[in-house]
């Protein structure tokens, strides 16, 4: 009865913010023509995927709740974006989004943890060995609230509770290439 002893193996995850990390945040981007990939993002994500991290996207899309664009617009752009990752050799495991306006008081708008809880329903994840990469205080606060072990903030303003701060995705990528043990531990 070996199968009674079966334990799922817990996998490491990379939770990527979207606007400001994957694409330049031009403000409530909803159209393919406005979606500009951030330089170096594919190479950075590959550093994680090639060492066995599952890749997720967690994004606040209050533009839906504000009525700026529809759920269908978001879904169309998301399918296109996912295909671009695939063309660059990267499998995005799951994409979670909060469609609510900030005043909706939902449980999924970062820094609330609803999107991480959704991921945990489908994947056995080792959150303590997982990473968040984001550009806002709410991304880093999500890491703290969900007990995700590691966090990286990208941008010119330092986020105090982030484990690492870099001014750009390329700077982050270079640092991790030079210090591979940090994410291979």
Ligand X SMILES: O=P(O)(O)OC[C@@H](O)[C@H]1O[C@@H](OP(=O)(O)O)[C@@H](O)[C@@H](O)[C@@H]1O
Q: Which residues are catalytic?
A: 17, 19
Residues 44-83, one symbol each (x = binds Zn ion by CB under 5 A, - = not), give: ----------------------------------------
Number of residues that bind ligand X (CB under 6 A): 13
**DSSP assignments along 125-173, one per residue:** B-GGG-EEEESSHHHHHHHHHTT-SEEEEESSS--TT-SEEESSHHHHH
Residue 162's closest CA among 124, 184, 136?
136
19 is in an annotated binding site: yes
Applying the rule CB under 5 A, the residues between 128 and 157 that interact with Mg ion are: 135
Pick the closer one to ligand X by CB: 51 or 75: 75
For 182, counting Cβ atoms within 10 Å of its Cβ (0-12 exposed, 13-18 middle, 19+ buried), the class is middle
From 13, 15, 19, 127, residue interacting with Mg ion (rule: CB under 5 A) = 19
The answer on whether 144 is annotated among ligand-binding residues is no
**Chosen from Mg ion, Zn ion, ligand X, none, partner binding at 106 (C-beta under 5 to 8 Å by type):** Zn ion
Instruction: Give the contacts of 123 (CB within 8 A, at least 6 positions apart).
Output: 11, 13, 54, 93, 94
Candidate list 52, 89, 102, 180; residue touching ligand X; CB under 6 A: 102
Burial of residue 162 (CB within 10 Å: 0-12, 13-18, 19+) is buried
Considering the complex, what minimum distance in angstroms separates the CB of residue 4 from ligand X?
A: 42
Q: How far is the CB of 109 from Zn ion (least distance, A)?
A: 4
150 marked as binding residue: no
Tokens at 24, concatenated: 């330049």
Q: Which does 108 bind (CB under 5 to 8 A by kind): ligand X, Mg ion, Zn ion, none?
A: Zn ion
Is 108 annotated to bind ligand?
A: yes
Q: Residue 34: helix, strand or coil by DSSP?
A: helix
Q: What angle do CA 49, 51, 47 make, to 5 degrees?
A: 55
Q: Return residues touching ligand X (CB under 6 A).
A: 17-20, 25, 27-28, 59-63, 102
């Amino acid at each position: 009865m070996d199968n009674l002893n079966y334990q799922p193996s817990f996998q490491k995850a990379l939770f990527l913010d979207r606007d400001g990390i994957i694409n330049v945040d031009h403000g409530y981007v909803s159209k393919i023509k406005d979606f500009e990939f951030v330089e170096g993002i594919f190479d950075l994500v590959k550093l994680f995927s090639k060492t066995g991290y599952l890749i997720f996207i967690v994004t606040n899309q209050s533009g839906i709740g504000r009525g700026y664009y529809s759920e269908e617009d978001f879904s169309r752009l998301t399918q296109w974006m996912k295909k671009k990752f695939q063309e660059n050799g990267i499998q995005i495991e799951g994409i979670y989004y909060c469609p609510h306006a900030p005043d909706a008081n939902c449980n999924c708008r970062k820094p609330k943890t609803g999107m991480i809880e959704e991921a945990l329903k489908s994947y056995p994840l080792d959150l303590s060995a997982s990473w968040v990469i984001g550009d806002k205080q709410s991304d880093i606060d999500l890491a703290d609230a969900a007990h995700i072990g590691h966090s990286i903030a990208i941008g010119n303003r330092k986020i105090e509770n982030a484990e690492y701060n870099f001014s750009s995705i390329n700077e982050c990528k270079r640092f991790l290439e030079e210090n591979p043990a940090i994410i291979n531990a």
